[in-house]
Structures are given as structure tokens and as C-alpha cells.
Amino acid sequence: MKSKLSELSFNIVMRIVGGKRYFGDQVENYEEARNFRELIRGVAYLSGASNADFLPFLQWIDYQGLEKRMMGLQREFDAFIQGLIDEHKKKICSSNDIIGRKTMIESMLELQQSEPEFYSDEIIKGIVLVLLMAGTDTTAVTMEWAMALLLNHPNMLKKARAELDNHVGHNRLVDEPDLSKIPYLQGIVNEALRLYPAVPLLVPRESSNDCTIEGFDVPSKTMLLVNAWSIHRDPKLWDDPESFKPERYDGLEDEAYKLKLIPFGLGRRRCPGAGLANREWERIDEELVNMDEGMGLSMPKAKPLEAMCRVREEMREVILEL
């Protein structure tokens, strides 16, 4: 499932950003898609590679060649995204009106006309790169963990399915206005993010001044990491923290747990994220899904998820229309 969920995440983000698919059967430009996939593979490798951070003097020689490869990859990615921007500029110039939904690049290029200092090509490239790097692997990892949890708890999967049947029906997929009507499914998402946050140490911060935190003296300019994984499993904050309990959020408003459920951080710089699907999944055998955690920029499963997909008969017509 890992590769399928990753491809799904990249296709969703790239359709939003540039209106293109680079995985699956509906790829239009195979050469462009191949280049994109190679760039992503390069980023995935370098993101998990061990650098000389623990022995700083080795940075002088770049003995693994990682910095050189990273700089080369950065130039290739820059050229790739610039190509997308140039392509959309030509599209806008050749048509007075953009038919259909605008891509994110098209929207930012329109803003470039009125606010060029805030929407230069460099800024647009930076925004696109952040969306690709921060919004794809993390989404795929979260979906994989959530599916693994549900496959190990089939009764909870049935309860979520019944909730969807009652409030959404069989004639369409879940849409954003439905979310307030399916609290149990939202509880499943919350529990997956609580037990297996995609970025367990969140984004690094830096102290602007000398300060004291819980009795520890922190000098200014110190890198600070918030251990969301540990907070989410703290028995002082959560009842039975190691257990998967979607119902623990029943009747609670966001205010009741938002300061201790922090998979996206807190405050105005927190990360947004979401994603749902509508299929029926089963374990490949009677053995429980392995839930060991792996190492990486995000927190992947140590053993990629394997599952059988069977389209629900009630949803067959909807699925065939996708």
C-alpha cells in the first residue's frame, strides 16, 4: 500500500498545483512524469541519508558526496518547477479566460500581475516545493497508519462504515460539508495522528532569547524540537494512551484536546492536512498488521502495509464514474 498511497498523494498535490498526474494510467507526458518520479526518488533517498551532523568536521570534505548530490537535485527541481510555471504563463497568454478550475500556479501567476514583489517566480517555486515536500509523504504515511489501525480493529472499521452509510449514503463520495456529521471517522483520524504523528518531532524552532523551560536553561539561538510522539502517549494527558480509541473524542470540542493533540503543531504557523477515501479493505490473512515504526524524515511503518481492496457493491457505480 505504501507505493499506492504515495502515488495518490503526489497526484492529488500535483493536480492542485499544476493540473497534472505523474502516476497511474492517465499520465499525459510520460517523459515529464519519468523525470518527476526520478526527482522524487532522489529526494526520498537524501531525506533519509545519514549526514555528518554528528561529526561536524566531516562537513568540510563532504565525504559521502551528499551535499553535492543535494545541490544538484535542487537545481534539477528548480528547473522542473520553473518549466511548469513557464508552461502556465504560455497558457494564460494564449487564452483570455481560463476554462474550468484554476491550478494553484495559475492563481499565483494572476496575483503576480498585481503584486509582483510577493509572487515572483522564485516565491512561487518555493511554495510549490514546500507543498510537494511537506504535503505528500506525510499524507501517505498517515493514511497507511490509519488503514493499518483499522485493519487490526475490524469492529471499528465496521462502525466507521456504518456511519458513512447513514450520513453520506452510497451515491457519492465524502465531501467537506459531511465532516461535521461523521465524528467517529474524525476520531479515527485523530487517533491515527495521535499514535503515529507523521513528523514526530514537529518542525525545528529556534529560541530568540535566553529562557528557562521546565527548569532547563535554554540559551538563545538553540534549536528546539517538540516531541509530539511523546506528548501524544503521555499517561498524564491521555487515558490508556497506548490504545486505539476513536471514541475518546466523543462530545469533546476542539478546545478540549487541541493543546495536547499537536500532530501539526500549534498557532498561526501550524501545518494543515487532511485526506479520506471510500473503499472496503481487508487484511491479507488472519495475522494482525505489523505496527512497528521505521526511521525517516516522516515516521513510516517499518514494514509497508499490505491489504486487499474490494470495491463495495453499494459504491460500484460511484467508483466507476471516477
CB atoms within 10 A of CB 143: 24
Q: Is 211 annotated as a binding residue?
A: no
Set of cell numbers at residue 13: 498535490
In angstroms, the first-to-last Cα distance of the chain is 20
Q: Grid coordinates 531525506 are at which residue?
A: 47
Convert the chain into a string of H (helix), E (strand) and C (coil). CHHHHHHHHHHHHHHHHHCCCCCCCCCCCHHHHHHHHHHHHHHHHHHHCCCCCCCHHHHHCCCCCHHHHHHHHHHHHHHHHHHHHHHHHHHHHHCCCCCCCCCHHHHHHHHHHHCCCCCCHHHHHHHHHHHHHHHCHHHHHHHHHHHHHHHHCHHHHHHHHHHHHHHCCCCCCCCHHHHHHCHHHHHHHHHHHHHCCCCCCCCCEECCCCEEECCEEECCCCEECCCHHHHHCCCCCCCCCCCCCHHHHCCCCHHHHCCCCCCCCCCCCCCCCCCCCCCEEEECCCCCCCCCECCCCCCCECCCCCEEEECCHHHHHHHHCC
Set of cell numbers at residue 1: 500500500
- CB neighbours of 82 closer than 8 A, spacing ≥ 6? 121, 125
β-pairing verdict for 307-310 and 280-283: antiparallel
What angle separates helix 137-152 from helix 183-195, to the nearest 10 degrees? Answer: 110
Report the binding-site residues for heme: 271
Report the binding-site residues: 271
